[in-house]
Chain A
């Protein structure tokens, strides 16, 4: 089963809801945080192409 483990975003107004949300101050920090979380959880980072990254367990 696929599961969204975390959401990483820069814009506070864009995301909300059940999964853990991590806010980043810049694009670089967003990518860095997403990579770190993905490595910790052994999951994959997917780009929703609206500035939001989701970390998904496949």
Chain B
């Protein structure tokens, strides 16, 4: 019974941390409520593991500790499940997420369980070390839990396109059937009806990387697809099933590493469009830092 406070405080803190990290945004992923139920329960198990480790070590139950660490390795299955789910749903998306984005999401969901284990562990250690009254101990645990959660989520927060690039509107031009943005050919639009839709409703953005690291990151195909998908998710896309002319496209200018996005949004709002592009997350798997290499520095 002596460890019951530690167990409750640690598990509770880890669970709440997982709940905090389950933010619902435009992506609606994990879906609500079933997706939430799945992730909260897995997070609860993680929190319990983190909380139990402390009393187990104190009681010199090292076999139990080994088993708990073994149990923690099961969380890697979370990544597989996420990957499979999102991969299976990919064919139902008008604009595909792309495998790189799916991998990124799966990785984040796996990592968040480990974060909830860390929070539970930190709070359990605090609770065990605390010698004062239960209510004061609860307050201290709460404080430690909040600080660790905020710190870890701050450290885990990725960049957005707006952080690594300047985004501005670009003009859509037609050279007969070729849709061009600043001499970069985006696609061949064969029908005049489709071309007039682009002339009237189409929007284009120029994404200029800030420096060589950003340039290398934006050159990733998965990142390019993620931009097309996320912007469509945020501001909507003017297309129906099978209308391949209107699929949002991202193309790269090899001369300067700029990306161009062209699409027909469902609402013609230029500011919303630019904001959406800036808010697209930079995929962890796409990040490249050539400037940290000797050869990269020589080129800069």
A residues within 8 Å of B by Cβ? 31, 34-35, 38-39, 41-47, 49, 53-54, 58
B residues adjacent to A (C-beta < 8 A):
176-177, 188-194, 241-245, 247
Q: Which residues of B contact A58 (CB under 8 A)?
A: 244, 247
B241 touches A45 (CB 8 A): no
Contact A46 B242 (CB under 8 A): no
Count, A-B residue pairs, CB within 8 A: 41
Q: Are A43 and B244 in contact (CB under 8 A)?
A: yes
B241-A46 in contact (CB<8A): no
Q: Counting chain A CB atoms within 10 Å of each CB, which of B176, B241, B242, B244 scores highest? A: B244
CB atoms of A39 and B194 under 8 A apart:
no
Is B190 touching A45 in the complex (CB atoms < 8 A)? Answer: yes
* Partner of A49 from B177, B242, B243 at Cβ < 8 Å: B177
SS of B interface (majority): loop
- Which residue of chain A lies nearest to B242 when distances are taken between CB atoms in the complex? A42
Contact (Cβ within 8 A) A47 B177: yes
Complex Cα spacing A21 to B244, Å: 21
User: Which residue among A34, A39, A49 has the maximum number of chain B CB atoms within 10 Å of its CB?
Assistant: A49
Task: Please give, as numbers and ranges, the residues of chain B lying within 8 Å of A53 by CB-CB distance.
Answer: 190-191
CB distance from A12 to the nearest CB of B (A): 20
Query: CB-CB < 8 A to A39: which residues of B?
Result: 242
Closest partner residue, chain B, to A35 (CB atom): B191
The smallest beta-carbon distance between A46 and chain B, in angstroms, is 4
Contact A42 B241 (CB under 8 A): yes
28 A–B contacts, CB within 8 A, in A order? A31-B191, A31-B192, A31-B193, A34-B190, A34-B191, A35-B193, A41-B242, A42-B241, A42-B243, A42-B244, A43-B242, A43-B244, A44-B190, A44-B245, A45-B190, A45-B194, A45-B245, A46-B177, A46-B188, A46-B189, A47-B176, A47-B188, A47-B189, A47-B190, A47-B191, A49-B177, A53-B190, A58-B247
Chain A residues with CB under 8 Å of B245's CB are: 44-45
Residue of B nearest to A43 (CB): B244
Smallest CB-CB separation from A42: which chain B residue?
A: B242
Q: How far is the CB of B98 from chain A (nearest CB, A)?
A: 15
CA distance A42 to B239 in the complex (A): 12
With a cutoff of 8 Å between Cβ atoms, the chain B residues found around residue A42 in the complex are: 241-244
For the complex with contacts A35-B193, A47-B176, 5 further pairs of A-B residues with Cβ separation under 8 Å are: A34-B191, A43-B244, A46-B189, A47-B189, A47-B191
CB pair B244–A44 under 8 Å, yes or no, is yes
Given A39-B242, A58-B244, does the pair A45, B191 have CB atoms closer than 8 Å? yes
> Complex: how many Å from CA A36 to CA B192?
14
B242: A residues at CB distance < 8 A: 39, 41-43
Tell me which residues across on chain B come within 8 A of A41, comparing CB atoms. Answer: 242
> How many Å lie between the Cα of A48 and that of B188 in the bound state?
9
Contacts of B189 in A (CB 8 A): 45-47
Residue among A41, A44, A54 with the most chain B CB within 10 A? A44
Q: How distant is the Cα of A46 from the Cα of B191 in the complex, in angstroms?
A: 7
* 5 smallest beta-carbon distances between A and B, as pairs: A42-B242, A45-B190, A47-B177, A44-B244, A47-B190
Q: Check A49 against B176 for contact (C-beta < 8 Å).
A: yes
A8 CB → nearest B CB, Å: 9
B263 to chain A, nearest CB (A): 15
B195–chain A nearest beta-carbon distance, Å: 9
